[in-house]
């Protein structure tokens, strides 16, 4: 019996040794000893550029979201594919911007600390910093993410919520990532900044039923304005439209006000009013202060930033963010 116990103990210790590094946790100031200035380098780079390109905040935030929803927050959205089959080649990512910006930050970090700071952490840090520098909420970004080497277009299409989603699809795709309906409402609040291409919502204007027609859930006056001034045809793939008209550069509550007025740009925005829980969450946000929204948004961002992260001996640190085996 003692021998059996010793064998069992030895096996359990062996297993701990095997899985321990893989289950290592993210932590604040992860690079304090290996690259002490890493977070300041990212922050300074963002600060020096975002004033000239404030739209970067929305672009980087979207990139972070799209990265985390496919294989976790592992920087796989950045990978280029010679066969055109990487995440960035998938329909949801064709309008994602900021790849060159992340590459530029990576170049600076590689010069200071070669092979230390992951591309996944650069996305997480820079998206937070860009939002803060444009007057938006701040949130904690623990670091230590490792990069993935697999990037698949089909997985991006299957996991990133499309703008045509109904509430059932949204709930399922968020739940798959460990996020609940409150997180859905709060993270949708990021639509308070940035723009969209007409192609993401023109079906609501011209072909909602598949046989023509307009989405009845969209305010008719707003729809008429979009048709006459923004997206004159179903096939417009180039024109961009503010997601939060008149307030797209300000991180505030106006997005939620527009959603209740049936003026959310996407079907996925409108869908938030079709579920009693999400509708209640919107009303609660609007009853509170902007500061309260910032605080709750921060919690959901921190939660999202931990989705299926690779740490310890899992994953790698890619020397070039666009190259899988670098």
Residues 177 and 199 in one domain: yes
Give me the pLDDT at residue 3, please. Answer: 45
Looking at the fold, whether 174 and 275 belong to one and the same domain comes out as yes
Is residue 76 a known part of a binding site?
yes
Query: What is the predicted pLDDT for the residue at 287?
Result: 98
Q: Which residue matches tokens 């277009």?
A: 153
* Boundary (domain end) residue, out of 128, 159, 190: 159
For 239-298, the pLDDT digits (tens) are 999 999 988 889 999 999 999 999 999 999 999 999 999 999 999 999 999 999 999 999
Please enumerate in sequence order all residues whose Cβ is within 8 A of that of 27, keeping only pairs 6 or more positions apart, or say none.
142, 143, 144
Considering 49, 64, 66, 197, which one is annotated as catalytic?
Answer: 66
What is the DSSP annotation of 148-194? -S---HHHHHHHSPPTT--HHHHHHHHHTTT--HHHHHHHHGGGGS-
Query: Residue 123: inside a domain, yes or no?
Result: yes
Which pLDDT does position 25 carry in this prediction? 85
pLDDT in tens, 167-209: 999 999 999 999 999 999 999 999 999 999 999 999 999 999 8
The per-residue pLDDT for 82 is 87
Known binding residue 67? Answer is: yes
Same domain membership, residue 153 and residue 176: no
14 C-beta neighbours (distance < 10 Å), count: 10
First to last CA, the chain: 51
Asked if residue 103 belongs to a domain, the reply is: yes
Bridge partner residues of 213 (DSSP): 207
Q: What is the CATH number of the domain that holds 218?
A: 1.10.420.10
For residue 4, is it within any domain?
no
pLDDT at 7 over 50: no
My answer on whether 208 and 289 are in the same domain is yes
- Return the pLDDT at 249: 87
Distances in Å between the Cα of 47 and the Cα atoms of 127, 143, 210 are 12, 20, 45
The answer as to whether 11 is a domain residue is no
Alpha helices (H) along 79-163: 99-112, 119-133, 153-159
Assess contact for 75 and 120: CB atoms under 8 A.
yes
CA 91 from chain center: how many Å?
A: 15
**CATH number of the CATH domain containing 136:** 1.10.520.10
d(CA 161, CA 171): 10
Please check if 313 is assigned to a binding site: no
Together in a domain, 60 and 104: yes
Residues 215 and 299 in one domain: yes
Considering the domain architecture, whether residues 250 and 294 belong to the same structural domain is answered as yes
70 assigned binding-site residue: yes
Task: Answer yes or no: do 148 and 70 share one domain.
Answer: yes
Counting the structural domains of the chain, the total is 2
Flag whether pLDDT at 299 surpasses 70: yes
Supply the pLDDT for residue 6. Answer: 40
Long-range contact set of residues 276-283: C-beta below 8 Å, sequence gap at least 24: 277/181, 277/182, 278/167, 278/181, 278/184, 278/185, 281/181, 281/182, 281/185, 281/186, 282/185, 282/256
- Whether 129 has a binding-site annotation, put simply, is no
DSSP per-residue letters across 257-321: HHHHTT--SSHHHHHTTSSHHHHHHHHHHHHS-HHHHHHHHHHHHHHHTTTT-B-TTSSB--SST
Q: What is the mean pLDDT of residues 124-153?
A: 97
Same domain as 281, residue 221: yes
Q: Tell me whether residue 219 is annotated as binding.
A: no
Q: What is the dihedral of CA 153, 300, 128, 252, to 10 degrees?
A: 110
Whether 2 is in a domain gets the answer no
Any known ligand binding at 36?
A: no
Identify the pLDDT of residue 106: 98
For residue 123, give the nearest of 322, 326, 325, 324 by alpha carbon.
Answer: 322
pTM score, two decimals?
Answer: 0.91
Residues 178, 144: one domain?
A: no
**Half-sphere exposure of residue 158: CA atoms within 13 angstroms, side-chain side:** 8
Structure confidence at residue 48 as a pLDDT band (50, 70, 90): very high
Q: Which letter does DSSP use for residue 1 in this model? A: -
31 within a domain of the structure (yes/no):
no
pLDDT band (50, 70, 90) for residue 1: very low
pLDDT tens readout for residues 227-238: 999 999 999 888
281 within domain boundaries: yes
Residue 82's domain comprises: 37-159
Domain final position from 137, 159, 181: 159
Residue 79: closest CA among 96, 54, 55:
96
Model confidence at 71, in pLDDT bands (50, 70, 90)? very high
Average pLDDT of the segment spanning 96-122: 98
Structure tokens at 202: 């023109």
pLDDT band at 8 (very low <50, low <70, confident <90, very high): very low
Q: Is 255 helix (H, G, I), strand (E, B) or coil?
A: helix
Sign of the C-alpha dihedral, residues 231, 237, 240, 244?
A: positive
Q: Has 66 been annotated as catalytic?
A: yes
pLDDT of residue 211: 82
H/E element holding 240?
strand 240-242
Q: Answer yes or no: do 177 and 299 share one domain.
A: yes
What is the structure's pLDDT at 212?
A: 86
As a whole number of angstroms, the distance between CA 226 and CA 245 comes to 11
Instruction: Indicate if 42 and 130 belong to the same structural domain.
Output: yes
Is position 21 within any domain? no
Q: What are the DSSP calls for 196-235, one per residue?
A: EEGGGTHHHHHBTTSSSB--TTS-HHHHHHIIIII--STT
């Amino acid at each position: 019996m003692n021998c059996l116990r010793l064998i069992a103990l030895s096996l359990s210790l062996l297993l701990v040794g095997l899985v321990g590094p893989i289950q290592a946790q993210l932590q604040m100031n992860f690079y304090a000893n290996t690259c002490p200035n890493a977070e300041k380098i990212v922050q300074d780079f963002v600060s020096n550029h975002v004033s000239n390109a404030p739209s970067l905040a929305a672009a980087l935030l979207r990139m972070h979201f799209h990265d985390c929803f496919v294989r976790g927050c592992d920087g796989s959205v950045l990978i280029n594919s010679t066969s055109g089959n990487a995440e960035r080649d998938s329909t949801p990512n064709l309008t994602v911007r900021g790849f060159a910006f992340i590459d530029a930050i990576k170049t600076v970090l590689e010069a200071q600390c070669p092979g230390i700071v992951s591309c996944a952490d650069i996305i997480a840090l820079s998206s937070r910093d860009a939002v803060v520098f444009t007057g938006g909420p701040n949130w904690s970004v623990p670091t230590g993410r490792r990069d993935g080497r697999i990037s698949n277009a089909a997985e991006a299409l299957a996991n990133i919520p499309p703008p045509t989603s109904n509430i059932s699809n949204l709930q399922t795709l968020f739940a798959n990532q460990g996020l609940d309906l409150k997180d859905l409402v709060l993270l949708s609040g990021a639509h308070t900044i940035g723009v969209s291409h007409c192609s993401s919502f023109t079906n609501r204007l011209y072909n909602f039923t598949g046989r023509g027609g307009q989405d009845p859930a969209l305010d008719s006056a707003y729809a008429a304005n979009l048709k006459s001034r923004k997206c004159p045809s179903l096939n417009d793939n180039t024109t961009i439209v503010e997601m939060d008209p008149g307030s797209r550069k300000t991180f505030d509550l106006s997005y939620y006000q527009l959603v209740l007025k049936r003026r959310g740009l996407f079907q996925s925005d409108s869908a938030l009013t079709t579920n009693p829980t999400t509708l209640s969450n919107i009303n609660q946000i609007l009853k509170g202060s902007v500061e309260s929204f910032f605080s709750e948004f921060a919690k959901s961002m921190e939660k999202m930033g931990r989705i299926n992260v690779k740490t310890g001996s899992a994953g790698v640190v890619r020397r070039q963010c666009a190259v899988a085996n670098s």
